[in-house]
């Protein structure tokens, strides 16, 4: 398998999207997001998304030159129009707006309409946690339904992710970030690219039978909610908050495109930030100090695995599956770049 440093991952991503028509600043935001997803251990949202985004640019679904704007706002709320820009660009803008409003008014709620695929939501909620803002984000069904509702035999939902980031005063926040499906669609693609089996209970084939073969998903199969009715219920909440509640469904030709919903609270709203950090540390220390059960090395809190992955992956080159790299090179070729062009010379915009 080819291997690349994280800096090379960022560089080749910038090159591709600048060549596809994006301003350098926008390409850098997308590249930073994909690279950070790799660092966090979530290759499902790394450079394997490049072919998807290049295809969307060429099809007109992503407008690479577009920038988000504010449609309406109050001191504590706003509706952000993503204008079909890259999803990462729109979500960064909306998260930063929510953060500034929460710093000023203690709480805020911001929605995004005309929003493209954003990747991992934790990238945006952790922007808040870095500034002592607790943040929640949800996104709903995109252009294609992939998950069947609990008790249903056909897909009618997206993977509908949710994320929470709670500041701690430590080197990383407590972060929960997951699809409400039993597995993210991107992880199915990773398994396919590596010829690995899926975990049991995540996917059914086109006949509705459980399968661990990733190829069955792409041959008419679909995902199921995690935890049965509980994951399904959370998926419905994400769907309602990011769709009807955000206003995303009210925009022309947007009936099967999702929106985003962000809610932010200043951690200093209820007590001094120093006492908040101390109290939070007491909780996380208590949990991490519990003796591990059989089969476990230690007790973790949400966000610990990603923090450990960042430390490890920042020191060694990242291996990319051959199938993924071939797809990235093919996407680059669609915008006029050869594989050699991708890693030749200095980074764009440096």
| C-beta atoms surrounding 33 within 10 Å | 25
H or E segment at 110?
A: strand 107-113
Angle, helix 122-129 to helix 87-105, in steps of 10 degrees: 30
What pLDDT is attached to residue 350? 39
Question: Residue 134, Cα to own-chain centre: how many angstroms?
Answer: 17
Strand runs labelled E in the chain: 3-4, 69-73, 77-81, 107-113, 133-139, 162-166, 174-178, 203-204, 210-211, 222-223, 260-266, 318-319
**Whether residue 256 has pLDDT greater than 70:** no
What pLDDT is attached to residue 56? 95
Question: Residue 171, Cα to own-chain centre: how many angstroms?
Answer: 21
For tokens 């309409």, name the residue: 113
C-alpha gyration radius of the chain: 20
Q: Report the DSSP pairing between strands 69-73 and 107-113.
A: unpaired
**Whether residue 333 has pLDDT greater than 80:** yes
**Whether residue 27 has pLDDT greater than 50:** yes
**Whether residue 177 has pLDDT greater than 60:** yes
Q: Mind listing the pLDDT tens digit for each residue in 73-108? A: 999 999 999 999 999 999 999 999 999 999 999 999
**Whether residue 12 has pLDDT greater than 80:** yes
Query: What phi, psi does 76 have (nearest 5°)?
Result: -120, -5
Question: What is the domain partition of the chain in residue ranges?
Answer: 1-65+320-350, 66-182+224-270+280-288
**Whether residue 198 has pLDDT greater than 60:** yes
**Whether residue 302 has pLDDT greater than 70:** yes
Q: Mind listing the pLDDT tens digit for each residue in 258-289? A: 799 999 999 999 999 999 999 999 999 999 99
DSSP-assigned letter for residue 49:
G
- 1-65+320-350 is classed CATH 3.50.30.30: no
Angle, helix 6-19 to helix 50-59, in steps of 10 degrees: 10
The domain made up of 66-182+224-270+280-288 has a fold known as Ribosomal Protein S8; Chain: A, domain 1 (3.30.1370)
Q: How far is CA 50 from CA 3, 186, 319, 335, in A?
A: 17, 12, 16, 12
Tell me the average pLDDT across 31-42. 97
Lowest mean pLDDT, pick from 2-16, 178-192, 304-318: 178-192
* pTM metric for this prediction: 0.92
What pLDDT is attached to residue 253? 63
């Amino acid at each position: 398998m080819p291997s690349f440093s994280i800096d090379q991952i960022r560089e080749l991503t910038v090159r591709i999207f600048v060549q596809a028509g994006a301003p350098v600043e926008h390409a850098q935001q997308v590249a930073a997001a994909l690279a950070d997803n790799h660092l966090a251990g979530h290759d499902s949202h790394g450079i394997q998304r490049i072919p998807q985004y290049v295809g969307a640019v060429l099809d007109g679904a992503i407008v690479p030159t577009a920038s988000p704007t504010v449609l309406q706002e109050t001191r504590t709320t706003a509706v952000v129009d993503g204008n079909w820009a890259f999803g990462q660009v729109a979500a960064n803008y909306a998260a930063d707006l929510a953060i500034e409003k929460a710093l000023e008014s203690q709480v805020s709620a911001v929605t995004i309409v005309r929003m493209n695929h954003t990747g991992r939501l934790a990238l945006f909620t952790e922007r808040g946690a870095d500034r002592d803002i607790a943040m929640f984000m949800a996104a709903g069904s995109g252009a294609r339904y992939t998950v069947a509702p609990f008790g249903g035999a056909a897909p009618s939902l997206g993977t509908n992710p949710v994320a929470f980031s709670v500041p701690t005063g430590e080197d990383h926040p407590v972060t929960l970030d997951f699809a409400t499906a039993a597995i993210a669609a991107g992880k199915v693609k990773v398994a396919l690219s590596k010829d690995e089996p899926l975990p049991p209970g995540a996917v059914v084939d086109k006949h509705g039978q459980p399968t661990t073969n990733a190829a069955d998903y792409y041959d008419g199969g679909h995902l199921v909610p995690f935890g049965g009715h509980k994951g399904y219920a959370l998926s419905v909440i994400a769907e309602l908050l990011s769709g009807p509640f955000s206003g995303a469904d009210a925009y022309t030709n947007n009936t099967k495109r999702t929106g985003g919903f962000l809610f932010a609270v200043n951690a200093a709203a209820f007590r001094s930030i120093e006492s908040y950090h101390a109290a939070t540390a007491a909780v996380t220390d208590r949990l991490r100090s519990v003796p591990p059960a059989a089969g476990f090395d230690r007790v973790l809190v949400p966000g610990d695995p990603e923090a450990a992955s960042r430390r490890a992956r920042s020191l060694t080159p990242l291996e990319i599956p051959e199938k993924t790299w071939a797809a990235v090179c093919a996407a680059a070729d669609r915008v006029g770049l050869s594989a050699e062009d991708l890693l030749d010379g200095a980074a764009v915009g440096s």
